[in-house]
Amino acid sequence: MKPLVSIVDAALAPELHRALKRAIVGLGRERLVAGYQTTFWYELGTPPSNQVEAAVVRLAPLLPAKRRRGVIGVEWWLSRMRTSNVKVDFHRDRDNARFDETGEEKNPLTSSVLYLGQCRGGLLAVTREEPNPDNPAFAPDVHDFDFVAPRANRFTFFEGTLTHGVLDAANQIPGKRRPREPGLRLAIAVNFWAERPWRVPTFGESRFYRALAVAPSRRLNFPNT
């Protein structure tokens, strides 16, 4: 059976990846708990205004042509967590504001993750099965997963309608908190959309993560992959 996920290692030029990781580590605890609720819109083809968007410019061409068809931009956010205490349930990416207002579930064309390093456990689990809110971490009843291990500079992508979640430090369905591990699982989630999700601001329209901003004179001078 064809894998649900695609993986590209060494996705970014090493110097760009190192700079990106330094910048995100440098944010410290800013929006650490609220990271999944702190999302941004970036229209492809426009100058990147921050280091994440500069990386997105390099990542987008790694998608097959059929996955790039119809894409106008991305929604991105930072995923920083301790795998001893995973706080994101199994889910399918969607336009949350649209769903809350209309009940319509609109999904991105493609969901993707760029990993900034390794961690204890923390496998990404992807499946066609429905999430079940009656189970711990909303895990599907049937555990038929494709897995992706976090590795520095690894880019993975999959169909935007698929269920996915993060396993804990022992690579089990998250449940009871485990002993605290020393570091964070660091990643950037990037969803490729055919239309802009409702009420998602651009980086320039927000006041968060200002340390990631790029000076206008440097926006087009990022190293090639």
Residue 98 tokens read as 């649209």
pLDDT in tens, 49-84: 999 999 999 999 999 999 999 999 999 999 999 999
> Sorting pLDDT into bands at 50, 70 and 90, what band is 215?
low
CB atoms within 10 A of CB 59: 22
Residues 6 or more apart whose Cβ sits within 8 Å of residue 96: 197
- What percent of the chain is predicted at pLDDT more than 90? 93
Q: What pLDDT digit, counting tens, does each position of 137-156 carry?
A: 999 999 999 999 999 999 99
pLDDT of 224 above 50: no
- Reduced to 3 states (helix: H, G, I; strand: E, B; else coil), residue 159 is strand
Mean pLDDT, range 179-189, rounded to an integer? 94
Contacts of 203 (CB under 8 A, 6+ apart): 40, 42, 49, 50, 53, 209, 212, 213
Structural domains of the chain in order of their starting residue, each with its CATH number? 5-210 (2.60.120.620)
State the Cα angle at 213 between 209 and 216, rounded to 5°.
160
**Matching residue, tokens 């959309």:** 193
What pLDDT, in 10s, does the model give residues 121-140? 999 999 999 999 999 999 99
Tell me the whole-structure pTM to 2 decimals.
0.94
Partners of residue 163 on adjacent β-strands:
127
Place of tokens 């390093």: 117
Please give the residue that has the higher pLDDT: either 208 or 225. 208
